[in-house]
Amino acid sequence: MIARLWWKETRTLWPAWPVLFGTGAALQWVLLASGSEGIRSGSLMLIALCWATIYALVVASAAFAGEREAGTLGLLDALPVDRKTLWLSKTTFALASTLGLSLIMLALGYLGSADLQDLPGTTEFIGHYGTLLFESVAWGLLWSALLRNPMIAGALALFCIGEVSYVASGGAKIEFISDSVIPTRFLMGALALAASAIAIVWRPLAGWSSSRSLNEDRADLPADSARSIRSRPASPTRVLMWKATREGFLIWLGASALCWGALAWMFQFNSASYADGMAAAFGVGAALVAGVGVFGGETAVGSQRFLLHMGVSPGPIWSRTMRAWAIGLTVTAFIILAMLSARWPGWWNQPNLVGFFTRQYDFSPLGFVAAIASVFGLAAPFANAFAVGTLAGMVFRRRITAGMIAVIVWIATAPLQFGLAIMGMMPLWALLFTPITVVGISRAWAGDWLDDRPGPARWLRLAGYLAVPSVVFPAAYIANRAWGVPDPGPVQVTAQTPAGSVPPGSDTAATYRRLAVEILPIRGTSPRGARTNEEAPFDFDRLEEDLSKRGDLLDRIHKATKLPPPQFANQPFFRVGVVPDPTSGEMSRVAWLLEQHGRGLLKRSDLAGAWEDILAQYRLARQLTGATPTSFAAHNALLVDRQATMLALDWAASDKQTSNRLRKALADLRALPPFPTLVEVLNAEAPLVERTLDLSGAELETAINGPNRRALAVRVCETMLLYSSWERERARRICRAEFKRLIVESADESNPLPDFNSYPPSQDLRRVSPLAATVMSYGWLSASLERAKAGRRGLVQVIALRAWNLDHNGTYPETLDALVPDLLDHLPLDPYSARPFGYKRSTGQEIPRLDLQSPSSNLGPLTKPGQWLLLSIGPDLHEGTAVSGRNYIDDLVFPLPSP
């Protein structure tokens, strides 16, 4: 008998095997084709077990509830089939078939894996995932033994698994994969399995039914209480709505209670992300249950043909049924809103909720409609679940099969669409297209569903209805992403050749490499770093002793800074974790030694030697960008340049200065080659970005994020969605337009540098193209270049003011115009405002500590009343006043030495 019952279960559930295997194989093919980093390290086997878990819930939930749904449980009793034998056969089949499918799916994942380093050990693997499969079967059997609807049984089984995991973890969080909760979860699963045996075997509980037969109802009614037949029958609309309400009330109530319970579950965690996720999962499950229940009951018993024989057309049946469910779901939604309002008053008016999704719209009528549609788009994942469940309930006779197919379709579509909308890659209101389309397909196919004729014609029509949006929607999305932005053409860049020529037998990169090797022991023994206006934090005597052991090292360094610039391997700066060329780091090491040595000479009042070290740093900074001023080269060069400027400001403030030395310093600064402009850097970066976007999706993901191991889901999503061919084409067009805009706006150096964060079509580059926003992340370059310019221009004026001071008996001019033309050809402009620097006396307040390397809002020491200050308005673009030092927080303040 057990063998016959196994055969019966196999005939009923065999379609689930190829469906789940085919879905798993298709997903594995997509993941392998994407080339995502780490996908072959065992993660495919973990994904395979997810499909086995779905099957475990399906086979267990349908075990007894499916028999009640089809009306065959009484038939099995009449054969007769002993309830103990029935329970034993159902349980063993569920466990054995789940184990068999798990092994098949694991084998599929193993074939696509190169290694298993993402998996735990064998014992832990069996304990973690074996327990999950066992409790899925156990809880599914328990609720299947108690309920008539297998969909509700599956949803409640999933809820119990989560609740048991929460309780077993001590009420801290939900732990599905944890050694500490395995014994408790396994024990609760065993108790649930035993309870299912009692529920199905023990009488009278075993004969429990949610409804009584019609004959029993008539037998219990007294004859005089029978109602007379109404003279005027109710309208067809009322009859159909009453029928839909009567058949779907319990399903609606169960699904709604699951939603309300999930929301209450979330409330006890406040805003914990995992609780929000569980609540959302329960909400989606409830929507699926409700959707399958719309037409699933009639499809299961074929009662829709009775309505056809009564002369009812498909339109009224479909519309009245959907109207009845719409009323019920509206009540559910209002109760949810009431619960949210009671828990978080005013939640709907929070800017991080509705405002986040409506901020991009204006207050025009069209913008208001778009904003409202976006708010409704937030409910799209639940609407998707309901719509897909509705269509699946019309197509598949068994509600548990319909639910399984609906879950698979929802997993394949809804998270992807909602993720794209959250990232701004599609408008939020577009999420409504899928549920509206699926509901429309259910209406178009209602005639075939009602007629239920044999033959392939109605199935071919359904396939056609589904094929059109399945092809049109992805094609429209890809076309919009790839060609929805005009292509301005590539940036035309003229070839650049480095100035000067390398002497025969000499190579700048090799020279710096040898120097860096000699400096390495010194760098390892001498403390690093120095701040302006502070004592040098290292032992200069020890540094000189180390240098004396290396002969003419400093002379060779000074000569190296006069060589032509070295050639670097050109790569974009955003490549994380990969140094484009080691020469850049070696030159930075040389610059460190020059700064340390120069500061030591300054401490000993050797101003001439310190100035030579400062000039050498400036020349080295220009060498870094002389060949090709890429963003990476500019980044390192600006660090060296600002480091030299900080030392030069301390040098200019020395009380041992002379007017002639300061005038010579001005001449030396004028003779230095100019630092690359932003236009030159952008011209160097444009072809690099073009070549970068020619990489494949997997190569681009590694190039941007580096080879570091990150979460599998993040890597896969980025490779498939952010770095796909159409996203690369869109990013290419946007980057071309942005490069051209920035180059044009940066051409006139008398104007402030352009804003890197303003993209004209939407003012939000990250929502237009996340890949373009990553590639065009040059905001740091603009800020760094402006700060270096402000420091260098401030230094020139400080030196000129110091020379004036020494030439005029210790007094400073009342205006900066007095420096022209004797000391300066013209007054340098503040790069932040494109106006002359501020120049005023202090009232004795605190001022921000000047640090060109690490901007800080910390205030420095008090200034003397009447002390002259040279001011740059800084990145906030607001000029400070002399009333309070706090007004200077974002300003660059150059205090001039006073007697």
Over residues 794-815, the pLDDT tens digits come to 999 999 999 999 999 889 999 9
Residue 267's pLDDT is: 65
Cis preceding linkage at 821, omega within 30:
yes
Q: What is the mean pLDDT of residues 351-364?
A: 43
Among 429-433, 533-537, 594-598, 653-657, the range scoring the smallest mean pLDDT is 533-537
Dist. CA 786–CA 599, nearest whole Å? 25
Give the highest mean pLDDT range of 308-317, 372-381, 442-451, 772-781. 442-451
Distances in Å between the alpha carbon of 169 and those of 50, 134, 178, 624?
22, 18, 9, 56
Distances in Å between the alpha carbon of 89 and those of 83, 96, 186, 809?
10, 10, 21, 108
Residue 39's pLDDT is: 66
Residue 310's pLDDT is: 72
Residue 174's pLDDT is: 55
Quick one: DSSP state of residue 225? Answer: G
Distances in Å between the alpha carbon of 807 and those of 68, 336, 801, 819, 828?
106, 80, 10, 12, 21
Q: Helix 725-746 vs helix 678-692: angle between axes, to the nearest 10 degrees?
A: 170
Residue 534's pLDDT is: 41
Answer whether residue 19 shows pLDDT above 70: yes
Burial class (CB in 10 A: 0-12, 13-18, 19+), 859: middle
Dist. CA 124–CA 119, nearest whole Å? 9
Residue 881's pLDDT is: 45
Per-residue burial over 404-436, b if 16 or more Cβ lie within 10 Å, else e, is: bbbbbbbbebbeebbebbeebbbbbbbbbbbbe
Q: What is the mean pLDDT of residues 262-287?
A: 64
Answer whether residue 677 shows pLDDT above 80: yes
Element (H, E) at 840: strand 838-843
Residues 6+ apart with CB under 8 A from 631: 572, 573, 681, 684, 685, 778, 781
Instruction: Point out which residues pair with 862 in neighbouring strands.
Output: 846
Per-residue burial over 437-459, b if 16 or more Cβ lie within 10 Å, else e, is: bbbebbeebbbbbbeeeeeeebe
- Tokens (6 digits) for 575: 């490549």
Span 82-122, pLDDT tens digits: 888 888 999 999 999 999 988 888 888 878 777 666 666 67
Structural domain spans, the chain: 1-209, 235-462, 508-672, 680-777, 807-895
Q: Where are the alpha helices (DSSP H) in 549-705?
A: 553-560, 582-603, 607-626, 631-652, 659-671, 678-692, 697-705
Give the highest mean pLDDT range of 169-183, 191-205, 711-725, 850-864. 191-205
| SS3 state at 552 | coil
When pLDDT is cut at 50, 70 and 90, the band that residue 654 belongs to is very high
* Residue in the structure block whose two tokens are 């110091």: 802
More confident position, 19 or 715? 19
Among 634-638, 704-708, 820-824, 836-840, the range scoring the smallest mean pLDDT is 704-708
Answer whether residue 533 shows pLDDT above 50: no
In the predicted model, what is the mean pLDDT of the chain? Answer: 78
When pLDDT is cut at 50, 70 and 90, the band that residue 707 belongs to is low
Given phi > 0 = left and psi -120 to 50 = alpha, else beta, which region is 453? beta
When pLDDT is cut at 50, 70 and 90, the band that residue 302 belongs to is confident
More confident position, 232 or 24? 24
597-603 long-range contacts (CB < 8 A, ≥24 apart) are 597/543, 597/547, 597/554, 598/647, 598/651, 599/530, 599/536, 599/647, 599/650, 600/536, 600/538, 600/540, 600/543, 600/544, 602/647, 602/650, 602/651, 602/654, 603/535, 603/536, 603/540
Dist. CA 137–CA 140, nearest whole Å? 5
Residues 6+ apart with CB under 8 A from 467: none
> 3-state DSSP: the chain helix, strand, coil percent, rounded to 5?
65, 5, 30
Residue 107's pLDDT is: 86
What global pTM score does this model have? 0.71
Indicate if the alpha-carbon torsion angle 358, 364, 369, 370 is positive or negative. Answer: negative
More confident position, 491 or 266? 491
The residue count of the chain comes to 899
* Residue in the structure block whose two tokens are 């009859």: 239
Dist. CA 867–CA 796, nearest whole Å? 19
CA 112 to chain centre: 27
Residues 6+ apart with CB under 8 A from 724: 697
Residues 6+ apart with CB under 8 A from 652: 662, 665, 795, 798, 799, 802
More confident position, 55 or 182? 55
Percent pLDDT > 90 in the chain is 19
DSSP letters spanning 371-422? HHHHHHHTTHHHHHHHHHHHHHHHH-SSHHHHHHHHHHHHHHHHHHHHHHHH
Span 154-172, pLDDT tens digits: 888 888 887 787 777 665 5
More confident position, 759 or 410? 410
Give the highest mean pLDDT range of 39-48, 611-620, 754-763. 611-620
When pLDDT is cut at 50, 70 and 90, the band that residue 372 belongs to is low
Span 460-505, pLDDT tens digits: 999 999 999 999 999 999 999 899 889 999 988 765 544 444 444 4
Answer whether residue 580 shows pLDDT above 60: no
More confident position, 682 or 626? 682
Answer whether residue 381 shows pLDDT above 80: yes
Answer whether residue 558 shows pLDDT above 90: yes
When pLDDT is cut at 50, 70 and 90, the band that residue 212 belongs to is very low
